[in-house]
């Protein structure tokens, strides 16, 4: 299998789905002429024309709503937010329109829209440009929330998202666009709602998603080398619906759990995982579940402070020591 970047994997998913279904179109800031702020849409304008690759004014609320309206009328819009930080301006359309129309209309209206773009912190972008909102969207019934960690998952999950009849919040890792991984040449999809065991292990379960999967994998290597601890790495892939079975099965085996996420701790994704795990696997747990999260602060610009604010293998290892009482 050829190794391609996460960016190109997303680009392939968009191109293939637009090829497959003429109802699919891409709309957002700089997606066309500029080839995408992060170049995810490179070449699509040239291939599909400006009716299907639509550059918008800076008007997140407006074009998100236009996307929802187009979906109500039967199209399959892919709405790109240059970053999810800016989607706060459009959140009324995502939460009050997209997530509720099917229910409020007694099942008459369908809203097959995909909202996508990079989320989480990057490098020195400071407080307003370094935020992870997975837990917010996952709080909302009516939405599905996807956050892939690898090129393979990114492509497969985006294709499934575009084909899904529900509104999807698809959060890409801004720091992952240049990462490479194997992606098959033949057609495939990755189903929504299934976590993936990225590494098998026996002693502790590391739950992670998006950018923190790499952190967990690095930590797990060092854990086996340095502490002889065998860690199992569970990549959530889809945050909502959450695949609690895969997590519970792992914890039933390891009896210990550490949850890693890029975002803030309070009511973060990890808090929900803790809630579920302690309920379904209470007797399996030999230690409290420990979380490794982004620091509970607005992201600072200075690079040393920023580094200190992010989850890293050291902090994961320290957490594993805690849950294995090797402190």
Partner 1 sequence: MTTTLDAAKQGFYHDLLRQMLLIRVFEEQAGAAYAQGKVGGFCHLYIGQEAVAVGSIAALRESDTIIAAYREHGHALARGVAPRAVMAELYGKLGGVSKGKGGSMHLFDVSRNFLGGHGIVGSHIPLAAGTAFASKYQGKDDVSVCFFGEAAVNIGAFHETLNMAALWKLPVVFIVENNRYGMGTALERASAVWNVYERACSYDMDEELVDGMDVVAVYDVMTRSVARARERNAPTLIEARTYRYMGHSMADPIHGHYRTKEELEEQKARDPIEGLRARLLDAELITDEAFASMRAAIDEEIKDALAFADEDEDPPLDDLYTHVYTD
Ligand X SMILES: Cc1ncc(C[n+]2csc(CCOP(=O)(O)OP(=O)(O)O)c2C)c(N)n1
Is there a catalytic annotation at residue 187? no
Site for ligand X contains 82 (CB under 6 A): yes
Site for a copy of itself contains 319 (CB under 8 A): no
Is there a catalytic annotation at residue 209? no
Site for ligand X contains 164 (CB under 6 A): no
CB-nearest residue to ligand X = 86
Residues 6+ apart with CB under 8 A from 107: none
The distance of closest approach from Cβ of residue 263 to partner 1 in the complex, given in angstroms and rounded to an integer, is 15
Strands 257-260 and 290-292: parallel
Site for ligand X contains 58 (CB under 6 A): yes
Peptide bond into 54 cis (omega under 30): no
Residue from the set 86, 95, 265, 300 that interacts with ligand X by CB under 6 A: 86
First to last CA, the chain: 42
Catalytic entry in 29, 60, 80, 261: 60
Helices (H), the chain: 6-20, 44-48, 60-72, 91-92, 101-104, 134-138, 151-163, 212-222, 244-254, 269-280, 303-309, 313-323
- In the shown chain, the binding pattern of residues 252 to 281 toward a copy of itself, with x for contact by CB under 8 A and - for none, equals -----------xx-xxxxxxx-xx--xx--
Give contact residues for a copy of itself (rule: CB under 8 A): 61, 85, 88-89, 91-92, 95-96, 99-100, 103-104, 126-128, 131, 135-136, 138-142, 240, 242, 263-264, 266-272, 274-275, 278-279, 282, 287-291, 296-298, 300
Active site members: 60, 129
């Amino acid at each position: 299998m050829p190794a391609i970047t996460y960016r190109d994997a997303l680009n392939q998913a968009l191109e293939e789905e637009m090829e497959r279904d003429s109802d699919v179109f891409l709309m957002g800031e700089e997606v066309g002429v500029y080839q995408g702020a992060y170049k995810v849409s490179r070449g699509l304008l040239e291939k599909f024309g400006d009716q299907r690759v639509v550059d918008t004014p800076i008007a997140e609320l407006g074009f998100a709503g236009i996307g929802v309206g187009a979906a109500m009328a039967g199209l399959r819009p892919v709405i790109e937010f240059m970053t999810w930080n800016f989607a706060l301006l459009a959140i009324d359309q995502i939460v009050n329109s997209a997530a509720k129309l099917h229910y409020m209309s007694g099942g008459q209206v369908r809203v097959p829209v995909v909202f996508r773009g990079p989320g989480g912190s990057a490098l020195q972008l400071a407080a307003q440009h370094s935020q992870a909102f997975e837990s917010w969207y996952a709080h909302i019934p009516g939405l599905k929330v996807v956050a892939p960690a690898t090129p393979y998952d990114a492509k497969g999950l985006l294709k499934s998202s575009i084909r899904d009849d529900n509104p999807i919040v698809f959060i890409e890792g801004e720091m992952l666009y240049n990462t490479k991984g194997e992606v098959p040449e033949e057609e495939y999809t990755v189903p929504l709602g299934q976590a993936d065991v990225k590494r098998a292990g026996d002693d502790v379960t590391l739950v992670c998603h998006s950018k923190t999967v790499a952190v967990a994998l690095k930590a797990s290597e060092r854990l086996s080398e340095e502490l002889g601890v065998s860690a199992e790495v569970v990549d959530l892939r889809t945050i909502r619906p959450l695949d609690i079975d895969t997590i519970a099965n792992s914890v039933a085996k390891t009896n210990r759990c550490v949850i890693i996420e890029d975002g803030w701790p309070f009511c973060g994704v990890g808090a929900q995982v803790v809630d579920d795990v302690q309920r379904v696997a209470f007797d399996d747990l030999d230690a409290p579940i420990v979380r490794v999260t982004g620091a509970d602060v607005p992201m600072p610009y200075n690079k040393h402070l920023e580094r200190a604010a992010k989850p890293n293998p050291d902090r994961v290892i320290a957490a594993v020591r805690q849950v294995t009482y090797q402190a």
